Amino acid sequence: MPDKKASRSQHLCVGSALVCVALAWVLSLNSNYGSGDYVFGSVLSTSVWCLTLLGALLFLAAQWRSLGHHALFNPLLAVAVNLLLSSLIFNANVPLYLDMMGTAFVAIVYGPVLGMGTALLTACLASINNPLLLGYLPVALVVAYLFGWLARRGAFNRMLVMMLTGAGVGIVAGLLTTMCTLLLPGEYGQSGPIKLMALWELILHDERLAVLLQSLSSDLIDKAFTALVVCVAIRFAPQPILRLYDYPETRPSRDRVLTQDRFTLSLDEEPPRNLLGRMQRYF
């Protein structure tokens, strides 16, 4: 269960996964990394990809016995959501990413370990045609951990606190994105963020400051929006979708998401029956 104390084997899996990810990220900073358009085009990029995949599998293995089959199926569904949304916005002129909706969902419902595994698995599949994506592994890992860790501490109980928490995660992600962008041996290539960065550089005439402001503004909005969409989806999902993750071991996690309104300590025992009435209590 997500709230049970981890065993020694789980600690070993998580520790080994972190070592694999750290090594993969250090290798991705090599000046020769990302020179090709295909991740299997060189030994270096292939090694980075394999280490990332191994890290993802170790994170998933850490939860193999403690959760049911849905805890392995739903991360795969979350990866598909991440890839779909990120591919839809990749060439749009919108300075957002939308690549962590599924990751945030898994991290909030199942905990940070499965969230980090989902983030790494998404990075593996997304980087096949764009190896430079693996240069942002610290961002994906830290954001997934924060969503899961903060959810367990009730940071998504209230709508206003949830939005502020999402914005805070966005600020942390923005700082990490800035670090990774400045260290990256090549240019990532998503049109929306690049155009926003060019605008900041035109105004400020400082490339590093432009990278910082673009990352902070993009990630702050992106992660706050992600928190809003995911928490509303968890709380108000229709019954067919609810069946995918409504299990005894996940109910304590779901009970920490939007279960308090603006003023009182808990919601009414008899909530409004229609969706609009239920959502109005949070604003």
Which DSSP letter does residue 4 get?
S
**Paired tokens of 226:** 């992600």
Q: What pLDDT, on the 0 to 100 scale, is given for residue 276?
A: 62
At a CB cut-off of 8 Å and minimum separation 6, what does 205 contact?
A: none
Cα(162)–Cα(154) distance, rounded to whole angstroms? 9
Where exactly are the structural domains of the chain?
A: 8-262+274-280
Residue 49, helix vs strand vs coil: helix
What distance lies between CA 141 and its chain's CA centroid? 7
Cα(146)–Cα(168) distance, rounded to whole angstroms? 10
Number of H helices, E strands in the chain: 12, 0
**Nearest one of 113, 122, 100, 148 to 256, comparing CA atoms:** 148
> Positive or negative CA dihedral for 186, 188, 191, 194?
negative
Q: What pLDDT, on the 0 to 100 scale, is given for residue 258?
A: 84
**Paired tokens of 12:** 């070993």
Q: Please report, for residues 35, 64, 86, 101, the alpha-carbon distance to residue 132 in angstroms, rounded to integers and kept in the order given.
A: 9, 30, 15, 21
- Decide if 144 contacts 118 (C-beta within 8 A): yes
Binned average pLDDT, 10 residues per bin, the chain of 283 residues? 63 93 93 76 91 94 74 88 90 84 94 94 91 92 95 90 93 93 74 78 83 88 94 87 82 85 50 58 51
Question: How many CB atoms within 10 Å of residue 202?
Answer: 9
Residues across the chain: 283
**Paired tokens of 1:** 């269960």
Residue 220, helix vs strand vs coil: helix
**Nearest one of 69, 61, 90, 85 to 233, comparing CA atoms:** 85
Residue 30, helix vs strand vs coil: coil
